[in-house]
Structure 1
Amino acid sequence: MKDLTQLDPVALRTLAVAVRLGTFEAAARELHVTPSAVSQRIKALETRIGRVLLHRVKPLEPTEAGLVLVRLSTQTELLEREAVAELVEEVDDESTLYTSLPIAVNADALYGWFVDALADVQTRHRVVFEVVREDHTRTAERLRRGEVMAAITGEPKPVPGCRVVRLGRLRYAAVATRDFHARHFADGVGAASLAEAPIIAFDRSDSLQHDFVRRVTRRHLAPPVTYLPSVREFDRAVRVGMGWGLLPESDVADELERGDLVELVPGRRPEVPLFWQHWRLGSGLVADLTEAVVSAARDWMVA
């Protein structure tokens, strides 16, 4: 068996950068070397490991072995930065480099409360964040691929090497304006009306509205859809009558009480369980971020 200890940290970082940026050329620019040097480092690492680490396509696609080493590189870099921060803190805190933490987050959490958690952590750590906005059904894959260190996800099963913390359930209400409701649902909310009434969806991976229709009608329908990949514009589209949509219960409670919005099926409020998954690391930064995320989520979600 090959001795795989003492892997070249420069080669590991090169692999991680190449996977993150997608091409040897982009990695070379970030690392200030030639594309040939990037290729040679990765080839040397593949020889050392005895496995192919990358599929040479565009964008570059890591193999399973490559994903393992990408995670190793990213985890090592985080722990090194935290160690350096501890060593120089008393001498000159301004000389400490910022740690960059990549995180995948669903749009509703990002818009509603997640930034509060990030801001809280920045009061205690020299850290910046690369937040990837992704549907909650797909964030775990980002984590699995080593593209992010933590994610808000609908997946309760831990990604290999990760810890899972339950955040709670985000409850939604299917709503429309009074005029829209009178125009499309005058004869009630059923299969015929739901098949014809336009809906608002975040993007093509947003299945909340279609899932709601299927649960209410027990049928697979294909209503007309407007896609708006922004929480603010999504909310606005529902409130100006472009279509009906599922909005967080906490965001529409007052408007429902005033009658400005009408609930399509009163009391039928789907819930999406959300979880916080992060790499298992002996990292004070990740521990503090987890604490802040759990605390911020508590005020927005159903237990």
Structure 2
Amino acid sequence: MIGQAENFSINAIRPAMHIDSKQSAAFLAVAEAGSFEQAAVALHLTPSAVSLRVRALETQLGQALLVRGRPCRATRSGRQLMQHLQRARAMERELLADMAGDGNGEQRAFSAFSLAVNADSLATWLLPSLVPALQRERIALELLADDQEHTHALLEAGLVHACIASQAQAMRGCVAEPLGAMRYRLVCSPGFASEWFPRGISRASARQAPVVVFNRKDALQAQVLREAFGLQASSCPCHFVPASEPLLAAVRCGLGYGMVPELQIQGAVERGELVDLLPSAAIDVALYWHSWRQQPPRLERLARSAMQAARRVLQPVPGTVP
């Protein structure tokens, strides 16, 4: 009986799997740089040494972590591991920054985070809402701007710590919290309306008049044209202006008509500076803050500041409590 008990305890206690730090550092360097050569330079190793470490990690985990190519890219399992390693690195950096300022009378060191954000939020409500928190928390922020339908991909790829996106569903390991909805209106200058829409916008006139679009990912104008007139976006002449404020400037100066955030025009329609071509075509785009489920405390507090500010200026997201 004693021997059986001893055998049971020995068999039950097995060494837990752990990730080798050198192997994980090699994998993360390749995943972020996109090549073994650039990772080797960053790690002061040879490309073959980096490759051996990544291969050993893949063997241990029983998963392919990288698709070898130009550039190299992480597999689905690789993205999960990359996000874990990036979270761990961010939290370690924040801990060290906090400890560096403790007990010696010095201020905390800055922590660096990256945020993917839609250009219209960046041009309107976001920065004023973040400045107090960035200064208070001593955060150095890198902003990556893209369409709200595509910022989510930057978080999924491990290129940012958080993102503002239109997707309500959080990916695995992350949370998504509603910020509010940005309302867009189809507007043009009075002169443009007189020239192209003297009797109001119609299917025929909308097809002839030039429209101003953010970029080829921007689907707002296409949605309005399809729902109101059954038109495809490709049937209309388009100007592409890939920045929020220049796009509004292009509409104001009569280059074309387009969907712009209501926050950006602040009474311009009521003052007669712009014409709302289809008041019934206003679109509310719901925005969500996506971040890792486990994140550094400073980033979490920054997110709370952004959420509080957004809910003061944006439209409520349907189905949520303001």
Normalising by structure 2, report the TM-score. Answer: 0.86
Question: Structure 2 vs 1, CA of residues 270 and 123 (structure 1 numbering), >3 Å: closer, same or farther?
Answer: same
Which of 144, 161, 185 aligns to 2:197? It is 185
User: 1: CA distance between counterparts of 2:314 and 2:93?
Assistant: 33
Give the distance between the partners of 2:52 and 2:15, measured in 1 at CA: 21
Please name the residue that 2:50 is paired with: 38
The equivalent of 1:227 in structure 2 is 240
* Residue range with higher mean Cα deviation, 86-95 or 160-169: 86-95
Alpha-carbon shift at residue 186 of structure 1 (Å): 1.5
SS in 2 for 1:256: coil
Contact 2:58/2:65 (CA < 8 Å) preserved in 1? yes
Pairwise CA distance, 1:249? 0.9
Task: For residue 68 of structure 1, give the secondary structure of its aligned residue in structure 2.
Answer: helix
Worse overlay, 187-196 or 240-249? 187-196
Partner of 1:142: 154
Change (3 A) 1:189 1:272: same
- Indicate conservation of the 8 Å contact 1:190/1:217, yes or no: yes
Give the C-alpha shift of residue 129 in structure 1: 2.2
Match of 1:100?
112
Task: Find 1:72's aligned residue among 84, 89, 105.
Answer: 84
For structure 2, the residue ranges without an aligned partner over 5 or more in a row are 1-13, 317-322
Letter in 2 for 1:253: Q
Structure 1 counterpart of 2:319: none
Q: Percent identity?
A: 32
Counterpart of 1:287 in structure 2 is 300
2:210 match: 198
Per mean C-alpha deviation after superposition, the further-off stretch among 150-159 and 12-21 is 12-21
**In 2, Cα distance between the equivalents of 1:111 and 1:282?**
26
Name the structure 2 match of 1:241.
Answer: 254
Q: Residue 160 in 1 paired to residue 172 in 2? A: yes
Using the size of structure 1 for normalisation, the TM-score is 0.92
Counterpart amino acid of 1:53? L
* Structure 1 residues 99 and 41, CA gap change in structure 2 (3 angstroms): farther
Displacement of 1:205: 0.2
Could you give the per-residue CA deviations for residues 173-214 of structure 1, whole angstroms, max 9, x where no partner exists? 111011111111113212111111101111110111111111
Cα distance per residue 1:87-130 (max 9 Å; x no partner): 33224576965432122111111121222344233223343222
Answer whether contact 2:173 2:292 (CA < 8 A) is retained. yes
Asked if 1:87 is matched to 2:99, the reply is yes
Counterpart of 1:22? 34
Asked if 1 retains the 8 angstrom alpha-carbon contact of 2:166 and 2:288, the reply is yes
Q: Specify the SS of the correspondent of 1:82.
A: helix
The reply to whether residue 174 of structure 1 matches residue 186 of structure 2 is: yes
Q: Say whether residues 1:250 and 2:254 are aligned partners.
A: no
1:282–1:90 Cα change, 3 Å: same
Distance across 2 between alignment mates of 1:282 and 1:183: 53
Other-structure match for 1:296? 309
8 Å CA contact 1:117–1:289 kept in 2: the answer is no
